Chains A and B, each alone.
Chain A
Amino acid sequence: AQSVTQPDIHITVSEGASLELRCNYSYGATPYLFWYVQSPGQGLQLLLKYFSGDTLVQGIKGFEAEFKRSQSSFNLRKPSVHWSDAAEYFCAVGAMDSSYKLIFGSGTRLLVRP
């Protein structure tokens, strides 16, 4: 069955520190992978996506993610976190063999220490 696991419920980092949010997926075919960010009371904003090609993808707000097929992972990274990055981050896999529905992980809440 298709699934997405985000093992970290909460992560706290200091402003200016680097960040890595983990995401593992289970999907039978080549996955289409996404990271979305949700600020409090807001909707879901697409940060970046991976469909094929270069396994390191760049997104908005200085984020990047690396697809590692051997590890079934798609971890999100940022070299230097800003206080405005505090939010909830969701990894999702797109079920491209059906209606292109998204299957989400349970999310990781990022807290940023001043």
Chain B
Amino acid sequence: EPEVTQTPSHQVTQMGQEVILRCVPISNHLYFYWYRQILGQKVEFLVSFYNNEISEKSEIFDDQFSVERPDGSNFTLKIRSTKLEDSAMYFCASRHSGRNEQFFGPGTRLTVL
């Protein structure tokens, strides 16, 4: 069964460093999402992406964040200059154009020191 994959599973970085989180969505899906979950809190929407552009973003998704689909399979989230409060689990999700449900990857745990 196809699934969403994410790498790395855990990333540790120093404050101020750039990080890139990678996702491989399900191959025939066209809609892509990033969510984050700060430890002990709810899952929060960050951004949605379709047809090579952002379709919606939340207040969390400020200028420090960017997303990209660099090729036909990967979908990345970049944090330009990480802050301590960026420490969280980041989930990628994808959705088929004819369906309403999103399928989530296993997440990347980002720890900013």
The answer to whether B48 touches A99, judged by C-beta atoms less than 8 angstroms apart, is yes
Contacts of A96 in B (CB 8 A): 100
Total CB contacts across the A-B interface at under 8 A: 59
CB interface residues, A 95-114, toward B, < 8 Å:
96, 98-107
Give chain B's interface secondary structure class. strand
Give chain A's interface secondary structure class. strand
Interface string of B72-113 (1 = CB under 8 A from A): 000000000000000000010101000011111111000000
User: B45 on the interface (CB 8 Å rule)?
Assistant: yes
For B33, B44, B45, which residue has the most chain A Cβ atoms within 10 angstroms? B45
User: A63 on the interface (CB 8 Å rule)?
Assistant: no
Binds B, one of A43-51, A65-73, A78-86: A43-51
Binds A, one of B14-22, B35-43, B62-70: B35-43
Q: How large is the interface on A (under 10, 10 to 19, 20 to 34, 35 or more residues)?
A: 20 to 34
A44-B91, A103-B45 known; A98-B56 Cβ under 8 A: yes
What's the nearest-Cβ distance from chain B to residue A41, in Å? 8
Q: How large is the interface on B (under 10, 10 to 19, 20 to 34, 35 or more residues)?
A: 20 to 34
The answer to whether B33 touches A104, judged by C-beta atoms less than 8 angstroms apart, is no
For A36, A92, A96, A102, which residue has the most chain B Cβ atoms within 10 angstroms? A102
The answer to whether A104 touches B104, judged by C-beta atoms less than 8 angstroms apart, is no
Complex partner residue of A99 from B35, B44, B50, CB under 8 angstroms = B50
Binding site for A on B (CB under 8 A): 4, 31, 33, 35, 41-45, 48, 50, 55-56, 91, 93, 95, 100-107
Return the 8 tightest CB-CB contacts between A and B, nearest first: A99-B48, A99-B56, A43-B106, A44-B104, A104-B43, A106-B42, A99-B55, A101-B45
